């Protein structure tokens, strides 16, 4: 795990130092900031040193828990990340949960009705869903939410951000509801994006499992179809899905960037874009590290789930 | 004559335009073991699956399957389920794939006991341990927690046999239950099946391509060729004195059965494919005795002992 993080950070650091630009560009262009000060900042953060030395200095600080300073936000990187990580986790958890709750039953249902109308209509919708790029879908939904006006129960669907103005004046329930309303649009966009693929995989995996000899053997023992499906087929069919869960979840953490940017969801994706555009070195490195770390955590989680579901997998 | 336990009459099975089994008739008396022998692709497994209503939906089954006088072919799914495992049980060829890899041995057995006998909880557990002991699994209470991947092929087949018998069926269908096992294990499993069949006074349909195995376990022998019955009679009689040229050829190709020729002979040619059966007698392209009528007319099986041949091998006097 750590060698991988090291490799990722090294490559990211190199690429970043090879790219044009300068984290202090804004300060340099500001006539109010004296050259002397800029040189002092450069010396303080080691920007005047050769790249390998800069990397080692950065690494030694990170190991001690210091992620550095964001020149764009003029705050410590850890604070900025901490603020954004929650929003991204919230979005990822919400849409992963929604995707799974919808896609897996739909896949199983389609498998059981293979070739009949439920399977066919779900297939068509799935292919449409897979073909629509998330940014387009996000724009479509933004437009729809703007045109639709207030809806019953939910009211007007917010078209951006995490909270409404005046959030601080709300009580706890009000705050939760406010965030939930903001979550709706990016969450649904991401769910639709992931739904189609997962439904196909869940359908395929269920079909494959149902054609296994132990399913025929279970039928031969006189077990009911529902028992066969839920007790014998489902857990086996879930195995490939669990593998996918790790990837899906971590891919959402980093890959939701398009949706985050279009719906101005203040998450890691949007933050990474802002950081790269201003060449905010320490912030870029932190988002990269965080992305890889979350990927690994996602995979670790799916491995643990695997071991829990399948006695052939042992945690060592 | 008392009514046979299982009576199959004119059973035909088609998949689309492909006819896999053609007008197959046989019966099994109570307590009897019928060996069903044939080469791969002759319709053995398909016939056995049809006895449990387990053929895929697109299979078209005609004819009659009667169990204790009850017609099975017209049963709905729920009624079939009450037959499976409780009146007719099945042991499959490959024990490696016939157990759910995620469920322990104990769960497998307790489930069958719960479904068929309504035994649950602690009672099911002790009953399951009893069955494991009965099929010769050492240290059965510890084995309850084992998962299929922790067991050898022979052990898995024993577990599958225990599950098949736990529903106290009248008829056990064993589809090549020893083919996937080591030779030394094969003999043990055959003994186990024969002993348990006697103890539980079940009938058994034993499907195999191995004549040596049939001689060991069966009372009667039915030989299948290309989806049709070739010959059916008491096992000693058929093995000592085959009447159908195919049976004769089959015996001539196995060491130990035909001492008189001394040499092993093979049957020339190959089993025809189900998509292109020959006209007339399906064995005629490979038969030394074939004449004109064999190419045009399907031989009608004689009443017991059954032979479906225009020119059967003469009985030695």
Per-residue pLDDT, averaged over A263-275, amounts to 87
Which alpha helices (H) appear in A161-171, and where do they start and end? none
Check: CB of residue A270 under 8 Å from CB of residue A261.
yes
The ipTM assigned to this model is: 0.90
CA of A202 vs chain B CAs: smallest distance (Å): 18
Low-confidence ranges of chain B (pLDDT < 50): none
Q: Residue B219's Cα: distance from chain center in Å? A: 13
pLDDT value, residue A281: 87
Q: Tell me what pLDDT residue A45 has.
A: 81
Give the number of A-B residue pairs with CB atoms closer than 8 Å.
Answer: 73
Among B216, B214, B247, B215, smallest CA distance to B229 is for: B247
Query: Could you give the CA distance from residue B243 to residue B247 in angstroms, rounded to a whole number?
Result: 7
Q: Cα dist. B160→A86, A213, B35, B253, B295 in Å? A: 52, 13, 20, 32, 44
Sheet arrangement for strand B203-208: B88-91, B171-175, B203-208, B33-37, B220-225, B228-234, B306-307
Asked if A220 lies within 8 A of B84 by C-beta distance, the reply is yes
Nearest CB partner across the interface for A221, out of B77, B85, B147? B85
Phi and psi angles of residue B303, each rounded to the nearest 5 degrees, phi first:
-65, 165
CB A231 to CB B111 under 8 A? yes
Nearest of A190, A73, A199, A70 to residue A133 by alpha carbon: A190
Axis-axis angle for helices A77-112, A117-131 (nearest 10) = 150
Question: Six-digit token pair at A162?
Answer: 């995490």
Best residue in B100, B113, B120 for a mutation probing chain A (most A CBs within 10 Å): B100
- Note the pLDDT of residue B65: 96
Nearest residue of A to residue B169, measured between CA atoms: A221
Mutation choice for A interface testing from B53, B72, B102 by most A CBs within 10 A: B102
Nearest to A18 by CA among A70, A54, A60, A42: A54
Model pLDDT, residue B260: 58
CA angle B172, B139, B192 (to 5 degrees): 25
pTM of the full predicted structure?
0.83
Q: Locate the domains of chain B by residue range.
A: 219-317
| Residue from the list A221, A231, A310 with its beta carbon closest to the beta carbon of B84 | A221
pLDDT for residue A192 is more than 70:
yes
Residues A232, B167: C-beta atoms closer than 8 Å: no
| Crossing angle of the two packed helices A172-210 and A77-112, in degrees rounded to 10 | 40
**B262 contact A CB<8A:** no
In contact, A42 and A87? CB cutoff 8 Å? no
Q: Among B86, B89, B98, whose Cβ lies nearest the Cβ of A213? A: B98
β B33-37/B203-208 pair status: parallel
Flag whether residue B102 sits within 8 Å of chain A, measured between CB atoms.
Answer: yes
Whether the CB of B92 is below 8 Å from some CB of chain A: the reply is yes
CB contact under 8 A, B98 and A310: no
Per-residue pLDDT, B258: 63
Contact B101 A310 (CB under 8 A): yes
Residue pLDDT, tens place only, A203-223: 999 999 999 999 999 999 999
Buried b (16+ CB within 10 A) or exposed e, B82-120: ebbbbbbbbbbbbbbbbbbbbbbbbbbbbbbbbbbeebe
Is B100 touching A (CB cutoff 8 A)? Answer: yes
A217/B85 CB distance under 8 A = no
Give the Å distances, CA to CA, from A19 to A22, A26, A125, A279, A281: 9, 17, 42, 9, 11
| pLDDT tens string A150-170 | 777 777 788 788 888 888 888
Q: Do B111 and A216 touch (CB under 8 A)?
A: no
Q: pLDDT tens-digit profile of B267-283? A: 888 888 888 899 999 99
Chain A residues inside the 8 Å CB shell of B97? 212-214
Helix residue spans in chain B (DSSP H): 44-50, 77-83, 105-117, 121-134, 140-143, 153-166, 183-199, 211-217, 235-240, 245-252, 292-296
CA distance B17 to B36: 25
Judge if the upstream peptide bond of residue A20 is cis by omega within 30 degrees of 0: no
Separation CA A168–CA A303 (nearest Å): 40
The pLDDT of residue A316 is 64
Residue B12 DSSP SS3: strand
Q: How far is residue B236's CA from residue B215's CA, in Å, rounded to a whole number?
A: 8
- What per-residue confidence (pLDDT) applies to A246? 79
Closest CA to B96 of A49, A135, A217, A152: A217
Contact B89 A232 (CB under 8 A): no
Contact A221 B77 (CB under 8 A): no
pLDDT at B275: 86
> Higher confidence at residue B21 or residue A252?
B21
The predicted-structure confidence for A108-127, as pLDDT tens digits, reads as follows 999 999 989 989 998 898 88
Residues of A with CB below 8 A from B110's CB? none
Report d(CA A62, CA A53) in Å as an integer. 14
CA distance A88 to A259: 11
C-beta atoms of B89 and A221 within 8 A? yes
Distance CA B13, CA A58 (A): 75
Lookup: tokens for B140 = 């059965």
Instruction: Report whether pLDDT(A254) > 80.
Output: no
Domains of chain A: 2-66 (no CATH), 81-278+289-309 (1.10.3720.10)
Going edge to edge, which strands form the sheet with B18-28? B18-28, B6-15, B59-67, B70-71
From the list A220, A310, A312, the residue facing B85 with the nearest CB is A220
Residues with Cβ within 8 Å of residue B114, at least 6 apart in sequence: B120, B124
Average pLDDT estimate for A52-77: 89
Q: Does B77 sit within 8 Å of A225, measured CB to CB?
A: yes
d(CA A127, CA B173): 45
- How far is B312 from B226, CA to CA, in rounded Å? 18
d(C-alpha B140, C-alpha B154), whole Å: 15
* d(C-alpha A125, C-alpha B304), whole Å: 61
Q: What is the dihedral of CA A269, A275, A277, A280, to 10 degrees?
A: -160
Distances (CA, A) of B300 to B6, B8, B24, B241, B247: 22, 16, 11, 20, 17
**Cβ contact (<8 Å) for B101 and A312?**
yes
Angle in degrees, CA B252, B255, B259, rounded to 5: 70
Torsion of CA B291, B297, B303, B307, to 10 degrees: 40
Element (H, E) at B204: strand B203-208
């Amino acid at each position: 795990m750590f060698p991988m993080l090291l490799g990722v950070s090294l490559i990211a650091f190199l690429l970043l130092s090879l790219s044009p630009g300068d984290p202090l560009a804004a300060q340099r262009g500001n006539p109010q900031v004296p050259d002397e000060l800029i040189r002092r900042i450069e010396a303080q953060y080691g920007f005047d040193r050769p790249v390998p030395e800069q990397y080692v200095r950065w690494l030694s600080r990170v190991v001690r828990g210091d992620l550095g300073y964001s020149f764009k936000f003029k705050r410590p990187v850890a604070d900025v990340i901490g603020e954004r990580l929650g929003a991204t986790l919230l979005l990822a958890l919400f849409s992963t949960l929604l995707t799974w709750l919808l896609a897996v039953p739909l896949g199983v249902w389609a498998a059981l009705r293979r070739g009949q109308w439920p399977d066919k209509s779900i297939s068509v919708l799935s292919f449409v869903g897979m073909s629509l790029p998330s940014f387009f879908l996000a724009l479509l939904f933004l437009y729809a939410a703007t045109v639709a006006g207030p809806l019953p129960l939910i009211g007007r669907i917010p078209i951006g951000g995490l909270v409404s103005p005046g959030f601080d004046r709300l009580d706890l329930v009000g705050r939760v509801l406010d965030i939930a309303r903001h979550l709706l649009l990016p969450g649904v966009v991401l769910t639709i994006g992931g739904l189609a693929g997962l439904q196909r995989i869940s359908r395929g995996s269920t079909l494959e499992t149902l054609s296994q000899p132990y399913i025929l053997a279970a039928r031969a023992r006189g077990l009911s179809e529902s028992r066969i499906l839920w007790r014998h087929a489902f857990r086996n069919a879930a195995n490939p899905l669990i593998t996918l869960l790790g990837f899906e979840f971590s891919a959402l953490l980093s890959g939701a960037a398009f949706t985050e940017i279009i719906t101005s969801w203040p998450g890691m994706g949007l933050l990474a874009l802002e950081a790269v555009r201003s060449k905010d070195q320490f912030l870029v490195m932190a988002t990269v590290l965080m992305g890889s770390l979350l990927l690994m955590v996602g995979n670790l989680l799916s491995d643990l789930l695997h071991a829990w579901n399948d006695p052939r997998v042992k945690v060592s | 004559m008392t009514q046979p336990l299982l009576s199959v009459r004119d059973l035909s099975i088609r998949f689309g335009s492909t006819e896999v089994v053609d007008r197959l008739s046989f019966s099994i008396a109570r307590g009897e073991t019928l060996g069903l022998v044939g080469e791969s692709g002759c319709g053995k497994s398909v016939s056995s699956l049809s006895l449990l209503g387990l053929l895929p939906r697109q299979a078209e089954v005609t004819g009659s399957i009667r169990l204790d006088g009850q017609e099975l072919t017209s049963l709905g799914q729920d009624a079939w389920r009450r037959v499976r495992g409780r009146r007719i049980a099945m042991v499959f060829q490959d024990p490696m794939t016939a157990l759910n890899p995620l469920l322990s041995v104990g769960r497998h057995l307790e489930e069958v006991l719960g479904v068929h006998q309504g035994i649950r909880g602690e009672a099911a557990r002790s009953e399951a341990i009893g069955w494991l002991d009965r099929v010769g699994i050492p240290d059965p209470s510890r084995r309850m927690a084992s998962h299929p991947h922790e067991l050898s092929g022979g052990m898995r087949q024993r577990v599958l046999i225990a599950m098949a018998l736990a529903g106290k069926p009248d008829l056990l269908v064993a589809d090549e239950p020893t083919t996937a096992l080591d030779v030394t294990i094969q003999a043990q499993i055959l003994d186990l099946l024969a002993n348990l069949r006697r103890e539980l006074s079940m009938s058994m349909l034993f499907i195999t391509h191995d004549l040596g195995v049939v001689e060991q376990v069966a009372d009667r022998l039915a030989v299948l060729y290309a989806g049709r019955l070739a010959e059916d009679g008491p096992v000693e009689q058929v093995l000592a004195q085959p009447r159908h040229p195919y049976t004769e050829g089959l015996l001539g190709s196995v060491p130990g059965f035909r001492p008189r020729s001394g040499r092993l002979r093979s049957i020339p040619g190959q089993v025809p494919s189900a998509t292109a059966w020959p006209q007339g007698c399906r064995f005629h392209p490979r038969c030394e005795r074939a004449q004109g009528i064999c190419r045009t007319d399907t031989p009608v099986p004689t009443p017991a002992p059954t032979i479906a041949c225009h020119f059967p091998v003469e009985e030695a006097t």
